[in-house]
Structure 1
Amino acid sequence: MKSVAVLACAGLFSLPAAAQQADDPLAPLDPVPAPQTVSPPVTTPTPAPTPAPTPAPAPPPRVIPRDWRGVFAAIDAGDWEGARLGIAAMPAGPLKPYATAKLFAARGSPVVALPDITALLAQAPELPQAEQLSRLAVTRGATQAPAVYLPRPTIPLGQAPRRGRTRPVQGEPAADALRIALEPFVKVDDGPGAEALYLQAVPTLSYEARAEAAHRVAWIYFVAGRDADARRIATEGRVGATGEWAAQTAWIAGLASWRLNDCVAAYDGFREAARLGRDAEFNAAANYWTARAAQACRRPREVSPLLRAAARSPESFYGLLAREALGMDKRLPQSAAARDVDHVESLPNVLRAAALVGVGRRADAEELLRHQAKIGNPVHHRALIRIAAKMNLPGAQFWLAHFGPVGASSDPADRYPRPNWTPYNGWRVDPALAYAHVIQESNFRAEAVSPAGAVGLMQVRPGTAGDTARARGTGASVGTAALQDPLANIDYGQAFIELIRRNGATQGQLPKVIAAYNAGPVPVARWAYYDRGDPLLWIESIPYWETRFYVPAVLRNMWVIQGLEGEATPTLDALAQHKWPEFPNR
């Protein structure tokens, strides 16, 4: 029994708590466990493996310029290290100091150490950049500026006669006010309105200011073909005046009388203009037209003396016409050979200029010759002009012919460069005519750009050049850089001359072609109303003052160049006979 009881107790104590509670309802309840929420397993994303960094592309190997063209191109492009390495790799010669100086002086180039500057200036103190680098040496710590050749001031050496606009009368408020008030009437060619305003202001004006205002009113009438009114106003307006405006009003009175077939009044007007005028070109014109009036009035004894008076200006348009009429030599005089040409050719800057021409750096070469003129002996100035012509550097020749230090001199013929150039696509107009335009348009400055965007030697507009290129099928546009190439610029310039020559407005007559180059063919078509078939009267009647002075200047330039080349001047012959000169054939 005992074993049974033990087993029973053992069995009792082994019952689960739930069973015990079932057997004993008074036993305390166990707390109910809160239901467990099973959260999904948290997974940590495995980061993607970091790719190995892509190695930076290796810089292209530096191309070291192998010639001077490449060196200067690197300087132009701001590739300072390439330029430095290129200069270092080049052999010694005249261009090495010049290229080094250009690199040192270039805007944005690296800082240059003082020893490098002083070494360069000790080697080449005559360089154009020497003065700038000498100042730079002081900023780098030099106790004294390195000695260099300093450029001297230049003075004008003379210029071809040019007719210009007469300057307004100064210091008269009433004249200033009238000038402004007349402008709207001038623009619309309202002669009666301008005359009424002028007459109202006359009591407040000096004699000279009255002549100026009368000239403006008379010109409106003259352009409109109202010659009697033009002569009346011009004649009345110059009473009491003795200056340039009196000469200008007398000139208009003479022209108006000529158109009225009144040779006596024309003679009086032109004679007075010649007496009062102070401009060489204007005086030659007045004397020539006085001779024409004397001839028309059957006063032959006066003709030759008047033509000789005009011929005293051999570099003027009317002076050349007079010399042609008199059978005189029309070539400009040239002095004997320049002194010491061989010596000047051996100067460092001149040697550098020659080397620069050889590598296509024409503008740099011209800079060197101009600089040499400023630092060199003035007696060598003519030699520099001859050297510039020999090197085919007309821009430098033109500048040297017009400017130099005190003691320098030049010949009138030097003012008419004749470079040995052949434009792209060859010559199709007379080179003398093309160069005559170049002188008038740009003074042979190949890089010139006008405010209106015309570019280069012949001041060609990119749009006009683009039209030519498209017509040729060679491209859609022509940029400024292309037009600064002399050979390209002259090619496009002569293409425009050919175009306007074929235009009906010019009728193939040279003065009208030249006028259309300056003003366009549309105005030229309107200017044929009152010339009576007289080419000189047509020129003097052009309403635009710029074109009125441009046409004779270009013709003069062409005739001078033809004379210097020993060529015939058929257009001068025609105009001297008062015939329309045809466009010259190539």
Structure 2
Amino acid sequence: MHTRKKTTKRLKVLSLGVVVITACLLNAAVYAAGIAPIPARKPAAFRADPLALLRFPALNQTDEPAAALMASPAIPAPVIPGHKPPVPQALTHADGRETMDATASLQTIPIPARKPEASGLNPTLQMAATQDITAESASGGDNFRLTLPETAPATLTAAPSLEGLNKIYKSKLKRAPSQRDSVARLVNIVKQDVSSGSPTRALKRLSSDKAVPYLDPVEKDQMQTLIARGYLLAGKVVQAYELAAESAARSGKYIPQAGWVAGLAAWRMGNYEDAARLFANSANSSYSSSWQASASSYWASRSYMRARKPQEVSLWLKQAAQYPRTFYGLIATRSLGWDYDFNWDTPALTAAHKKILEDHSITREALTLVKNGDYTAAENALAKIDTSKDPALAEALLAYAAQKNLPALGMKLAQAYGHPKGGYYDSALYPLLPWKLKDGYTVDRALVHAIIRQESKFNPGAVSRSGAQGLMQVMPSTASYISGKSQFKNKESHASLRHPQTNLEIGQRYIEKLLYQDHVDAELFSLVVAYNAGPGNLKKWKRELADMQSDPLLFIESIPMGETRAYVERVMSNYWIYRLRMNQPVPSLDAVAEGEWAQYVPIDGIKQAGLPSLSDLRLADAR
């Protein structure tokens, strides 16, 4: 396996007083930074779990019941031998009041033992990495060491979710069907109030609605955190802070989002030490996803730098860097000067694999489709095979997908099955397009791949509920606008947009057009926002959040649309990882790690007038 080689030349935090920045998160996260729209659930499942609508997709919640919530003195930095956590201090408010740190009553939570997917390492490597970080922290050394296991399984092992969704909170309260319906109704109404920009109305409901007695304390704090997020996005920072910090104090162990929202509010209020401890609480919660944990850890590092506590900065950067496939994990790793440990190997297709495939009826038919050149039909058929109880078949399919360039199938399998020696088959998680463009690329290959991975997961036949088509999820109206051909507006012509080459040509031309609009100006964060939410929303948000132009990561975290916040993080993570896979430098990652916007620097395709090239920039080492 690959190991991290640590260098020291980029770790200037102690002398420069600057720290890396980050951003956003999740349809659920999904994602580390926000409340994304919640997908519809089956009625029975929803009735059993009405609070599901409140889940922040990128956050973690769990099946663990809410035990008695015990308050303890303070929220610590990572629990590391020989390292003394900060002591809560009085906070001075804008009106001159002094109060104790709002996190003082939060439970002290040690860094949980993460699953291997968090850093892409198997348990032995994960333990070695943790031990080395501990040794460095205690001794002040700067050598990062990993030890490979002596033996490894012979076949694929089940890979834990890349989202790191370890736990989901469920109440132990027994509710009658009518009570569950009342709770579901309240959740829906509160969510609608927050989405429509009325958090105050939602807060009133939370105190007076007839369903409130049917909520346990943690569930009520989940809803209060959602309302706090609404206040934060509406620019009512003090209200957001008060509600989220209160929820974090009561239920922070189970709701990492509470510490996250309160931390962002404290940051915007200039209470950086308070923000650091709130972010630390969120990062340390065992209910945090890998995206949430890396985001909170990174922002804890930023906050400690602003609070003039540089001794904490590198500790929290190292914590964020445990998740190298996340947005903030990538930035933290770059800031520390560490190498990335991605595994670009693919399993070789052996005679034993071929026999397994030939003995299976569906794969046998798919092999015939491939021989006839119908790769899409073959890939669709193979993707329907249940390999959950047959890792040998999964390994054979993964090897076959790699050899025949079936990216959607390979990506699906690599998300479910890890490398026999631990970690992932990153080459399958981040596959390359098998289709060729007639006139080649006019924008970077890595950028096209990054968008496709998020939009369609390399399925050329993908169609969204809104009508977006194909690999790059191009809307028919956009295709007509870009191509100048009205035929794409006709429903009968939509199928042509699912032709890979057609979709790629129109998609990259749309990227080119967006890149040079005034409000994008060849900046990648802005480009990705415009691609997802439209140029009009980008223009509006840049106007409304003009005071955040000096802090790109705070700008991203303050975008009102949760889906877009998560989309930016995912696509940018994909982009940087694809650049690394293609052995290309990552100047935009360097820029973000230094607190700057992610300026687009073309490597592939045709250089456009006014854009810098690699030779125009002073790049850090490409590693």
TM-score normalized with structure 1 length = 0.66
| In the alignment, structure 1 residue 519 sits paired with structure 2 residue 533 | yes
Question: What is the aligned counterpart of 1:393 among 386, 406, 424?
Answer: 406
User: For residues 304 and 312 of structure 2, what CA distance do their matches in structure 1 show?
Assistant: 6
| In the alignment, structure 1 residue 261 sits paired with structure 2 residue 257 | no
User: For residues 311 and 332 of structure 2, what CA distance do their matches in structure 1 show?
Assistant: 15
Deviation, structure 1 residue 286: 0.6
Question: What is the aligned counterpart of 2:506 among 470, 487, 492?
Answer: 492
1:198 aligned partner, one-letter code? L
Q: Deviations over 1:410-452 (max 9, x none)?
A: 5244211112432244211111111111111111111111111
Contact 1:331/1:564 (CA < 8 Å) preserved in 2?
no
Residues 224-243 of structure 1: pairs in structure 2 closer than 5 A: 224-243=234-253
Contact 1:563/1:569 (CA < 8 Å) preserved in 2?
yes
Q: Deviations over 1:336-373 (max 9, x none)?
A: x6355355457648897676446431123325655789
Structure 2 SS opposite 1:238: helix
Contact 1:207/1:239 (CA < 8 Å) preserved in 2?
no
Q: Deviations over 1:30-50 (max 9, x none)?
A: xxxxxxxxxxxxxxxxxxxxx
1:290 aligned partner, one-letter code? A
What's 1:212 paired with? Answer: 222
What's 1:160 paired with? Answer: 162
Distance 1:522 1:555, change over 3 A: same
User: For residues 370 and 187 of structure 1, what CA distance do their matches in structure 2 show?
Assistant: 36
Deviation, structure 1 residue 321: 0.8
2:502 aligned partner, one-letter code? A
1:211 aligned partner, one-letter code? D
Deviation, structure 1 residue 192: 3.0
1:548 aligned partner, one-letter code? R
Distance 1:391 1:557, change over 3 A: same
User: For residues 424 and 566 of structure 1, what CA distance do their matches in structure 2 show?
Assistant: 24
Contact 2:387/2:393 (CA < 8 Å) preserved in 1?
no
Distance 1:474 1:324, change over 3 A: same
Deviation, structure 1 residue 380: 6.5
Q: Aligned residues: percent identity?
A: 29
What's 1:113 paired with? Answer: none
User: For residues 229 and 262 of structure 1, what CA distance do their matches in structure 2 show?
Assistant: 15
Q: Any stretches of 5+ residues in structure 2 without a counterpart? A: 1-155, 605-623
Farther off after superposition, 170-179 or 570-579 = 170-179
Deviation, structure 1 residue 575: 1.1
User: For residues 482 and 172 of structure 2, what CA distance do their matches in structure 1 show?
Assistant: 47
User: For residues 199 and 236 of structure 1, what CA distance do their matches in structure 2 show?
Assistant: 15
1:365 aligned partner, one-letter code? A
User: For residues 272 and 186 of structure 1, what CA distance do their matches in structure 2 show?
Assistant: 25
Residues 24-423 of structure 1: pairs in structure 2 closer than 5 A: 157-161=159-163, 173=179, 175-200=183-208, 204=213, 205-245=215-255, 247-276=256-285, 277-334=287-344, 338=347, 341=350, 344=353, 348=358, 356-357=369-370, 359-367=372-380, 370=383, 374=387, 378-379=391-392, 381-382=394-395, 384-403=397-416, 411-423=425-437
What's 1:105 paired with? Answer: none
Deviation, structure 1 residue 287: 0.6
What's 1:124 paired with? Answer: none
User: For residues 556 and 488 of structure 1, what CA distance do their matches in structure 2 show?
Assistant: 26
| In the alignment, structure 1 residue 579 sits paired with structure 2 residue 573 | no
1:338 aligned partner, one-letter code? P
Farther off after superposition, 497-506 or 408-417 = 408-417
User: For residues 482 and 321 of structure 2, what CA distance do their matches in structure 1 show?
Assistant: 41
Residues 545-564 of structure 1: pairs in structure 2 closer than 5 A: 545-564=562-581
Distance 1:503 1:332, change over 3 A: same
Question: What is the aligned counterpart of 1:440 among 449, 454, 462?
Answer: 454
Name the structure with the higher helix share: 1
User: For residues 594 and 585 of structure 2, what CA distance do their matches in structure 1 show?
Assistant: 16
Contact 1:164/1:549 (CA < 8 Å) preserved in 2?
no
Contact 1:469/1:476 (CA < 8 Å) preserved in 2?
no
Contact 1:354/1:365 (CA < 8 Å) preserved in 2?
yes
Distance 1:184 1:575, change over 3 A: same
Structure 1 SS opposite 2:249: coil
User: For residues 268 and 375 of structure 1, what CA distance do their matches in structure 2 show?
Assistant: 41
Distance 1:403 1:233, change over 3 A: closer
User: For residues 206 and 257 of structure 1, what CA distance do their matches in structure 2 show?
Assistant: 27
Aligned residues: 430
Q: Any stretches of 5+ residues in structure 1 without a counterpart? A: 1-153
User: For residues 405 and 280 of structure 1, what CA distance do their matches in structure 2 show?
Assistant: 17
Bigger relative contact order, structure 1 or 2, given CA contacts below 8 A and separation 6+? 2
Deviation, structure 1 residue 405: 12
Contact 2:161/2:416 (CA < 8 Å) preserved in 1?
no
| In the alignment, structure 1 residue 456 sits paired with structure 2 residue 470 | yes
Structure 2 SS opposite 1:548: helix
TM-score normalized with structure 2 length = 0.62
User: For residues 165 and 541 of structure 1, what CA distance do their matches in structure 2 show?
Assistant: 26
1:219 aligned partner, one-letter code? R
Structure 2 SS opposite 1:453: coil
Deviation, structure 1 residue 532: 4.6
Deviation, structure 1 residue 322: 0.8
Structure 1 SS opposite 2:162: coil
Q: Deviations over 1:118-142 (max 9, x none)?
A: xxxxxxxxxxxxxxxxxxxxxxxxx
Contact 1:307/1:322 (CA < 8 Å) preserved in 2?
yes
Farther off after superposition, 474-483 or 190-199 = 474-483
1:236 aligned partner, one-letter code? E
Contact 2:450/2:574 (CA < 8 Å) preserved in 1?
yes
Structure 1 SS opposite 2:251: coil
Deviation, structure 1 residue 561: 1.6
Question: What is the aligned counterpart of 2:442 among 428, 444, 452?
Answer: 428
Deviation, structure 1 residue 408: 12
User: For residues 561 and 290 of structure 2, what CA distance do their matches in structure 1 show?
Assistant: 21
Deviation, structure 1 residue 268: 1.8
User: For residues 433 and 267 of structure 1, what CA distance do their matches in structure 2 show?
Assistant: 33
Distance 1:187 1:395, change over 3 A: closer
Distance 1:503 1:159, change over 3 A: farther
Distance 1:376 1:225, change over 3 A: closer
Farther off after superposition, 276-285 or 361-370 = 361-370
2:468 aligned partner, one-letter code? A
Contact 1:385/1:400 (CA < 8 Å) preserved in 2?
yes
Question: What is the aligned counterpart of 1:544 among 561, 565, 582?
Answer: 561
Contact 2:279/2:300 (CA < 8 Å) preserved in 1?
yes
2:537 aligned partner, one-letter code? P
Deviation, structure 1 residue 538: 1.4
1:458 aligned partner, one-letter code? M
Structure 1 SS opposite 2:432: coil
Farther off after superposition, 479-488 or 371-380 = 371-380
2:552 aligned partner, one-letter code? P
